[in-house]
Amino acid sequence: MMKRILLFLFLFIFVLGACAPAPSPEKVIETVVVTELVEGEVVEVIKEVEVIKEVEVIKEVEAVPGETIWRTAQDGKPFRFPHWMQQHPVMKLMTSGFLQACDDYGLLCQLDGIEGDDDASVVAVIETMNLDNTSGIVTGMFFPSRYAAGLVAIERGIPLVSQHVPASLEDVPGLLAWSAPDIEGFGIGAAKAMAEKVECQGPVAVTQSNIAENENALSEQFVKTLKEECPGIEILDTQPMGLDISASIPKAVGIIQANPDLTGAFDTCGNGAQYWAAAASESGKEPGEITIISMDYTRPNLDLIKSGEAYMLIGQPLYEECYWATVLLANHLVGLPVPFDNFVPAPLITLENVDQFYAINDLAEAQGE
């Protein structure tokens, strides 16, 4: 059953707070239904929120009977979400955030997903999209290969919000906004956690899926901070492992065999906890003997935290970033001011707080029912 739930109200308050004050602001009290996670349980709460609206820029949009003002502003044209790896747990969390926002705001929306991790296919989806039947696009503008296709849509007057990685107007002129976590910030947090857990004893492995700008930035910040926290600690050269878990396991086993005294492993991708845990087991290591820190609150990763096979996850806000990106598009259509930079918090997940992230997975899975 579809659940009409407005998640993470703090994002709304946090991002609106970043807007410059309007010359003639109008304060409006809105009553909204939100959910809060209390001891792992999802609880609906009614709250009154003071929202500042810039009256000069708000369009006169009157909803037709049976529609929200946002749906009316779409004029029958859906929001689109081009993406890859549509069956991957990470992508399912992302698309569920998009669909939940569409549900909460009564929007017309469409997923445009492909199987596999071929970015050229995602670009082809964007390039062949019927822009005459599109009112807005949510997609990650984090690969240069996507810039040109995104610019075509923007030049046609289609608002585009990027997600997952902070974007630049220099790379994508005319981009409406981006919604993403602070990559360097959680690299610092992960490094400090690793330093404490391994007591500054190495060697520590660093791996990532591919040589990509966002993963490079994360691994570089992790290495920099770990060296600051633990001068003299041995950190192995960063290794690309690919996106296929089965192919990554033997690579991780090879690193362990070459470094039998390995104390920790940090991976910048959502598959990292799974292949490092499997490699540690195959190498005869006890759960927790190698401190594994990786990304994403997918259910398989959470299970590894519960079992003690992985130590910590960086909770990239996969669901939340796409939810908020969609809200930004919706508000833009009705003339509300939209800030360009939108950082979404990324909590560190350990055994102490892991249960509440199962609840987020439950919400995402219910969206597909």
Domains assigned to the chain: 9-181+325-346+354-363 (3.40.50.2300), 183-314 (3.40.50.2300)
Query: Roughly what angle, to the nearest 10 degrees, separates helices 318-333 and 9-16?
Result: 60
Dihedral sign, CA of 179, 185, 189, 195?
positive
Residue 305: what pLDDT?
97
Rounded Cα distance between 302 and 350, Å, is 9
Q: How far is CA 285 from CA 3, 193, 195, 263, 313, in A?
A: 42, 21, 20, 11, 20
Tens place of pLDDT per residue across the chain (369 aa): 223 333 333 333 233 322 222 223 344 444 444 444 445 454 555 545 443 333 334 455 567 777 888 999 999 999 999 887 777 777 888 888 899 899 999 999 998 877 877 778 777 888 888 889 999 999 988 788 888 889 999 999 999 999 988 888 999 999 999 998 887 788 899 999 999 999 999 999 999 987 667 788 889 999 999 999 999 999 999 999 988 889 999 999 999 999 999 999 999 988 899 999 999 999 999 999 999 999 988 899 999 999 999 999 998 888 889 999 999 999 999 999 899 999 888 889 999 999 988 988 887 777 555
**204-208/348-349 β-pairing:** unpaired
Rounded Cα distance between 175 and 26, Å, is 27
Spell out the residues 6+ positions from residue 165 whose beta carbon is closer than 8 angstroms to its own.
Answer: 140, 141, 142, 178, 180, 183, 213, 214
